[in-house]
Structure 1
Amino acid sequence: MNLTLRARRIAAIVLLGVAVTVTLLGVLLMIAAGTEDAAIEGHTGRADADVVSVTAGRTLVRFHTPDGGEHLPSVGVLYPDQLEEGQVVRVEYDTRNPDLVRVAGRGATLTILPVVTTLLAVWAVVSALVWWLRKPGPLHLRKLRPRRIAV
């Protein structure tokens, strides 16, 4: 086996490994979102929360529970799309763990479309690259030759 063919096989295996890893992470993300939602739905508390901070990584909210406790979950709120600082928003939280909080009316189903879209894009790119890598030649261009007609 020549060096180029071996390098192509290794590249194809690495690409497939990356695609499988991204797929597993996407599936785990959807499972985690469903698990967190189930925890909140099992012991639901509701409150009005002030949006304290909105960054690319997380959105922080502050809310009060009926026992008088003030909570500012350090990991942020789940499903924070379109929230702005200073906004008051209704949240649902796990009464056993008030740091697990989501925007009311939003749930794990919001993770399905972005995860599935990402996985489709990853597999489309990886499939194309693996297909390209299996072809012989540096650029896989073939000379155009007229076909011979058998007589």
Structure 2
Amino acid sequence: MDAPDSADGPNKGLARTRISVLVIAIGISVLAFLLVVAAWQNDRTITSDEGTATAEVLSAGRLRSAVSFITPDGVTHNPQLGVLYPTNLIAGQRIDVEYNKADPDLVRVSGRDASVAIIPAASVVVVTWLIAVPAQLLLRRREEADR
């Protein structure tokens, strides 16, 4: 196996690192976009066959809150994934929810929709690129200095 040329070795490594930073930043941006698209799709599914109920918040967290509600057919539902858009809920609180009648495990807090996912997703994208762009510039300067 040949040893890498001393002039090419560091530049190849820096070029690969620059490409890696770019791929990671693009990947994070795409995932954030897909998160908003998925939230919008869940909203469409709920709205297409919407039922409403009053639910009790069993546990509350920033990212997941568990709820329990009874549908008109008398069945109690406790969605495994919790309720969509769970911010500012308190355990024991009674809230109105909207759910998909065909799939009562797909439930959101009444009055909330995918628009609440836009700001967090956009924030992730902005922070990602605020880190990636200076990293790209720094790596490019190092790459040019090594030439």
Report the TM-score, using the length of structure 1 for normalisation: 0.87
Q: Distance in 1 between matches of 2:118 and 2:62?
A: 20
Aligned to 2:37: 31
Aligned to 1:15: 21
CA deviations on 1:119-141 (whole Å, 9 max, x unpaired) are: 0110121011001100137xx7x
Q: Distance in 2 between matches of 1:91 and 1:116?
A: 26
Q: Distance in 2 between matches of 1:20 and 1:28?
A: 12
User: Radius of gyration: which is bigger?
Assistant: 1
Aligned to 1:49: 55
Q: Higher relative contact order at CA 8 Å, sep ≥6: structure 1 or structure 2?
A: 2
Aligned length: 139
Pair 1:85-2:87 in alignment = no
Q: Give SS of 1:16's match.
A: helix
Note the C-alpha offset of 1:22: 0.5
Q: Distance in 2 between matches of 1:51 and 1:115?
A: 25
- The structure with the largest helix share of the pair is 2
For the Cα contact (< 8 Å) 2:56–2:95, is it kept in 1? yes
Q: Distance in 1 between matches of 2:41 and 2:100?
A: 12
Q: CA RMSD in A?
A: 1.6
Identity of aligned residues (%): 36
Any stretches of 5+ residues in structure 1 without a counterpart? 141-151
Note the C-alpha offset of 1:53: 1.3
Aligned to 2:3: none
Q: Distance in 1 between matches of 2:142 and 2:110?
A: 55
Note the C-alpha offset of 1:55: 3.7
Note the C-alpha offset of 1:87: 0.5
Amino acid in the other structure paired with 2:87: D
Any stretches of 5+ residues in structure 2 without a counterpart? 1-6
Note the C-alpha offset of 1:21: 0.8
Alignment of structure 1 residues 135-150 onto 2, 5 Å? 135-136=141-142
Aligned to 2:123: 117
Alignment of structure 1 residues 89-100 onto 2, 5 Å? 89-100=95-106
Amino acid in the other structure paired with 2:136: V
